[in-house]
């Protein structure tokens, strides 16, 4: 990989060529200001879910909510996931893409994870315009990820395990997007060639990684493999043996000198110094990273929706 900065020039942003996903971040920021935050179980979360639902309905999707309760500090809380899927495509081959919609209390939560949620809206809109897709594409905006047990995605997978194993087996791949516009970003792709400390990498994950890395390589964009985050929504799918992939631009870990040479930015400084802080707002995201990652996510969704062969051998239970 030839060392360079992000392919998307910052000059393009200054000329007003902001990523389409940015409008959704503006809305998430406005909601956080109006309601205080978008934490699970709050009015802010409800408003954010309504906004996502409106965007999806406008693209022709039927939107549903999956409610669940979870216990936190001795109290039972209720929240929900937001789900939508294509009408077309094989029901026996489902591609899932997900991002958590909730944020930590008292935080605008724009990078974590308004960025992933916004990119997912744009990917869903792009998929709605396709004709003749071969695989069903299902989108999920998860609730209560910030409670450290990935309650929304965990509830979704457990519900299928208990009540509809065939539907779970039909999920050929799950792609996760959590923090993709960090202000001092790396371009990270979930590493499907290294086992996690707790779990083996499911079969088919390497093929998903290749979908992203081939995209970046074709655009001359450097990338790095990144360790799988054990605290995000792909974990439940990994445990269930579903092939998993994803993208990531970094949280409070410090950027290395090598990473600074590859991607620009500042070495020995956090990728996102505002991680889980009130400063995680609209002013502290990298629009180049947001645009690049949104393009990669849309590419992956489009290819997997249309391609019967990428994951033919992905899963063997």
**Coil/strand/helix, residue 279:** coil
Please give the positions annotated as active site.
Answer: 145
132 vs 159: CA distance, rounded Å: 30
Whether 282 contacts 26, CB under 8 Å? yes
DSSP 8-state symbol, 256: P
Give the DSSP letter string of 201-235: PPTTHHHHHHHHHHHHHHTT---EEEPPPTTSTTH
Q: Are 37 and 311 in contact (CB under 8 A)?
A: no
Nearest to residue 82, comparing CAs of 3, 156, 133?
Answer: 156
DSSP for 132-177, please give it. S-SEEEEEEEES-GGGTT-HHHHHHHHHHHHH-HHHHHTEEEEEEE
Whole-number Cα distances in Å, 258 to 6, 123, 255, 290 = 14, 31, 8, 21
| Dist CA 121 CA 19 (whole Å) | 12
Query: N- to C-terminal Cα distance for the chain?
Result: 36
| Residue entry with tokens 């869903």 | 124
Distance of CA 141 to the CA centre of its chain: 9
Largest CA distance in the chain: 52
| Residues forming a β-bridge with 79 | 68
């Amino acid at each position: 990989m030839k060392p360079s900065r992000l392919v998307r020039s910052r000059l393009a942003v200054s000329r007003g060529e902001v990523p389409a996903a940015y409008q959704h971040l503006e809305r998430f920021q406005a909601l956080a200001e109006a309601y205080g935050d978008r934490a699970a179980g709050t009015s802010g979360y409800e408003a954010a879910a309504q906004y996502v639902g409106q965007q999806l309905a406008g693209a022709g999707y039927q939107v549903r909510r999956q409610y669940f309760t979870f216990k936190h500090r001795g109290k039972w809380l209720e929240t929900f996931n937001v789900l939508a899927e294509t009408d077309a495509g094989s029901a026996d081959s489902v591609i899932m893409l997900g991002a958590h919609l909730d944020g930590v209390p008292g935080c605008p939560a724009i990078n974590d994870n308004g960025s992933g949620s916004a990119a997912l809206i744009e990917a869903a809109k792009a998929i709605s315009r396709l004709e003749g897709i071969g695989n069903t594409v299902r989108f999920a905006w998860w609730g209560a990820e910030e409670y450290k047990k990935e309650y929304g995605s965990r509830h979704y997978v457990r519900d299928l395990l208990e009540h509809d194993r065939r539907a779970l087996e039909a999920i050929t791949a799950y792609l996760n997007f959590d923090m993709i516009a960090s202000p001092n970003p790396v371009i990270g792709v979930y590493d499907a060639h290294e086992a996690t400390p707790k779990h083996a990498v499911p079969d088919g994950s390497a093929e998903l990684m290749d979908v992203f890395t081939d995209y970046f390589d074709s655009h001359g964009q450097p990338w790095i493999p990144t360790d799988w985050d054990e605290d995000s929504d792909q974990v439940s799918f990994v445990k269930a043996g579903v092939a998993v992939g994803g993208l990531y631009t970094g949280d409070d870990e410090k950027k290395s000198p090598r990473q600074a040479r590859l991607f620009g930015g500042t070495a020995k400084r956090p990728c996102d110094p505002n991680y889980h802080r009130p400063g995680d707002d609209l002013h502290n995201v990298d629009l180049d990273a947001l645009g690049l990652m949104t393009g990669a996510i849309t590419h992956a969704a489009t290819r997997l929706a249309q391609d019967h062969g990428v994951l033919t051998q992905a899963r063997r239970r």
